[in-house]
Every structure is written in structure tokens, then in C-alpha cells.
Structure 1
Amino acid sequence: CIYSVGRNYLNGLLLKESEKYDNVQKFFNYKLIQTNLKNGSLTFTNTATRETVEVNADLIIGADGAFSAVRKEMMKQPLFNFSQEYIEHGYLELCIPPGSDDGFQMPPNYLHIWPRGQFMMIALPNQDCSWTVTLFMPFKNFKNINSEEVLIDFFEKYFPDSIPLIGKKKLIEDFFAGSPSPLVSVKVSKNRTVSENAAHAVVPFYGQGMNAGFEDCTLLDQLFKKHNDHLASILEEFSTMRWRDTFAISDLAMYNYIEMRDLVNRPSYKLRKALDDFLFWLMPDTWVPLYNSVTFTSMPYNQCVKNRTWQNKVLTVVILFVCLLVFLFLIYTRK
């Protein structure tokens, strides 16, 4: 199954778990302002006291987000390849509150999606029986919704069933309380010491951003054991192994947005999904659909893409063969 977990809740769990390890130290309210990769020094400022602190490290791993300060310093080094791409769509979060009975207003064991071609809305359940609703849409569409009347007209046209769930008053309050946030994708090729969003920030449409970060940690842990803590060997193999997978999930996440907001409504998509599901049922060890392999297995992301490629080739050959048989049959019956 797929778990919907709040980021703050998960952060709390990880912080609590880290307390079990005496060799883990945590420092809060510090911002990295300068890095010297040659001598391993880092300069931080305390955001509360404005105090400046300099520390030295044998190994620096930049896991400091999509706008990584460590990566920014690494970009000054030769042969460091980096790309950043914003999509033309942003997102805005709304909320479906609990029902009058303090329960869920929709079946909670599902990801609810309203696909509308060029935009979409999704809803994920929370533990308090509310729903986090996210509207993904081109920025120009957000800009056009400039009054309460335009907003209600828009929702009555495209998401009419959501209005009684959210409530008109709450919809207006939530929508105009903030502004749409951008979505960015980051790719770093063959890096040695950046991980997670600093190395591979992805758009959220496959729900794999955090999982990809956890995979970084799992792989590093395996390599530490394999190479007996020899850092040069660990980082070299990590760099060689990981970048293709992070590129793959970045591209998959971009594509899945098109699938979620548009393709799911097309008969060709529904036919392909039914065929994938049937072949998976028939040959579960041989034919694993793309979504299943990405979401429910530990198969490397790049291998998931390769599997999809050969599956497409097989289906293309089968379809051409069937068409040929039909063509020959029609010719034969006309004689």
C-alpha cells in the first residue's frame, strides 16, 4: 500500500529515533553561509543570536535541499554538471475539513484525483480526518482567478463536487490566503557529496522524492560496509551508481503529471492499464507495470524505465502482428 505521511510528523519520528545514537549530534537554527571544499571548513550563522561559527569536517555531504548551499559551492569546481528546471505550473494547498460527525467526508483509503487536462486537483487523507487538497495549475490560470466570484465560477465548472466538501467560505479563505508555489526539478550528474533534494529535487507527481532520498542513505550505508569505510571508494561508487536512477525518477515524475492530469481520461490509457494489469496477473514475475515497479519494489528507477521500454516494444510487435493477421483474414475472406 501507499502511505500518506505528514512531513512534520515524519521529521519528529526521525529526530526521536536519532536520539538513540550517541554519535549523532544535532544543531538547530544554524544557516550555512560559506563552504571551503579544499580544506573542509564550513561557516554557519545562528539565526537566533547571529553568532558565526566555523567548523571543520573530513567529509561534507550536502543534503540541504533543492537550493543547496553546498552544491552552489561545488558548482565552482570544474566538470560539475548541474541543471535546474521550473515547470510552468504551480500548486496551492486547500483543505477539506472533517465531516459533521468528525469523520472523513470521502473514502480515506484512496488518492482522490480530479484530472482536468491542463490542470488537476488531488486530495490526501490526514490523521485528523481532514484532507490536504492540492491544486496544480499553470501560473497564468492562477493569475486569472482574481476575485471570489471568479474562483467560485471556476470550481463550479471544473470541481463542482468539491465545493460542498470544502465549503465556499473556507475555499475562498484558503485560496486567497497565499500564492501558488513553484515546482522545480534538479539534476546533478556524477556528484560525490550531495544527496537527496540537493542532488535530485523532483516534482511531486510520483510521490518518490523522499523515498529517493532514503534510497541515497540506504545505498551509502551498503557501500560503507562493502568498502570498510574507505571514503574514496565509497563516494566514487555512489556517484557512478546513483545518478542514472535519480535522472530516471526526475523524468518519470515529470511524465506522471501529464498522465495524472490528462492521460487517465483517455481510452488508450485505460486499455493499456487493463492490459498491464492482466499481464501482471498472468506473469507477476515477468511483467511488472511501470507504476508497480517504481512504487512497490526496490528496483532501481533506471531499471524500471528499461523494463517499460521492452514492454512497449513487445506490445508494439504484438499489435502489429494482430493487425497483420486481421488484414490477411480480410483479404482471404474477400476471395
Structure 2
Amino acid sequence: MANRTCFEDFDWNGFWDDYDGYTGSEKVTDERIADTERLLGYKLPRSYIELIRTRNGGSPVNSCFPTDEPNSWADDHVSITSICGIGGQWGIDSDDLGSRRMIDEWGYPDIGIVFGQCPSAGHDAIMFDYSECGPQGEPSVIHVDVEVGEGEEPVRTPLAENFESFIRGLVHEHVYDTSEADKLADLETARHALFTPLLRNLCDAADTLLPEAETVLRRLAERVIEEKGFFSLHADPLSHLMYDLEFLLYVHAKGSVSIEVYLADYEKILVFGEAGTFKTGGYAPGFVADWLNERIGSGNIAEAVAGDGFVFDDGYKREVLRQAGTYHD
């Protein structure tokens, strides 16, 4: 029994999806594992190491884990898009998208390692939880949802007592396929739901700048839903256009604004609101902050000539209005 592997009776054939966008190119050696453990400050579970030796991260074919507690995406399960390996852009040790950044910048609890990406692309994730066992122990697996109100703690949902149990408990998404119904519900919300109070005020103040602001936002949201199957903003061109329009309306109504104030107010525009409100299905602050930094770096958003804060460059403002025009004809 001493030499027993965690998955000795497990059939890896068909476990991994053919898509390799989340797969690291580095070889998983003992030395590389030790480096990752030193960097993150935790001993990696033996079962996790066995898994990434079969493939250094990737998307599992069976991508759902049953739960007894509802979360922001479903009442009876959580979904996972990838199990992160080590090294590369998606590794748990990555500077850009790894566990430490998720904890330090995106609000995940500092209790272990973020190793599983979810469809929300940042709003929720799967973690190793070392809070009970300590950094050298065998962690449990939990789901963490950071789509919470201001000042509230992320919601933690226990999933499995260890990583081996988590892997063995994964089931295919067909068991929970509600995608078409979810898409239709999101389209209905985008077309008819009330705006959050701040977004309503920004549209009302748009006057001659963008008199069809409400129609533009609703039709752009419909386009996002048609492409993704749900309403959520990430780092794609349609999401960036939505961020542009929101900033355009905000500055038009309130004048130049500091980065800190805008990021704080952004949550009230298209994130938090009452049930049934026109809003996104989640919120990862990093996406909005990265968009804003990119726009400032490119000069599309610049410091105001008079007064403090930032506004759109006139040329880029015209470009945003041009793109907006394609959504109200």
C-alpha cells in the first residue's frame, strides 16, 4: 500500500479535452514541483501532482461537480473550465494569472491555492483550502465566489475532502445542461429589465451625446449573450466596447474622474443590483482595471486638460460613438 498511487484504478483515457489552451509546456519534474511549493508556500497534494504528470494542466471532459448548495451559476453544481498546472501563463505559479494574483488582486481568500478556473473567468474559482490542515497538510477542495457586495467576504462552498475525491466526483456537463434556457433568460433580462439606478441616471444624462444610450447598451448586451450564451464581461472586444460606453456615459454626466473613484463606482453601474436587474452575471475587478490601464497606456483615455482625473481622448471618443451607432439602427 505504501507505493499505491492515488489514481491506480483510474482511466485517464478521455479525461482531458483535446483543447490545450490551458496546458503548460514545461515538464513536471520533482525540481519544478519543489520550486512551485516554495513560491506558493504550500505542499502540493500528491494526487494533484499525479494528475499534472499525465498532462500539465488542461480542460477536463467531465467539467461539473455536484453540490448541495447553490452558487452564482447553478443550484446544484459548479463548473470548471480548466485545472491549472505549473509554469506558463495559466500555471498556479503564474505572475499574470496564477494563484497569488487571484488572491492579492481579485479578492480570493488567502487560505491556499487557486487551481481551477470556472466559466465566469475570474468571478469564481476552485481552491485548495489549507485552513484546517496547515501548509504541509492535505487540503480540502472548495468553490469560492467573489461576486459579493461591497465589504462582504467571498462565499466558500465545500466540495471534496481532498483532490482525489474531487477528480473522481466530476461529471459531464450534459447532466446539468440548461444552457439554452439560461441564454433565453439572459436575453429577456437584457431586453426588458430595469437598469441599476446609476446606469439609469447615466443614460438619462446622455442627451445629445448618445440619445439612444439605453438601446445601444441593451443591443450590445444581446450581442454578448448571443456569442457567449450568457451575459458576462471579460477581456474580449465586445466587453471592452461595453466598458468604453460605460466610461463615456459616466464622464459625460459627471466630468473627469480619478481611476480609484471610477473603479469604485463601476460596481454600481452594471454589477450589483436587485434580482432581475439588467446586470452582468459576475464581476472580476481585474478585467475592468486592465481595460482602463490599457486605454490610459494607449492614450485613448487621457488626463483632463482642466481639473483632475481622466477623460476620453477626443479622437477615441468619436470612435466609441461610431461603434455605438451600429447598435441602434
Interval of TM-score (by shorter of Structure 1 and Structure 2): under 0.3
- Normalised to the residue count of structure 2, the TM-score between the two structures is 0.23
Q: Which has the higher contact order (CA 8 A, sep 6+)?
A: 1
Larger radius of gyration: 1
Q: Which structure has more helix as a fraction of its residues?
A: 1
- Normalised to the residue count of structure 1, the TM-score between the two structures is 0.23
Q: Which structure has more strand as a fraction of its residues?
A: 1
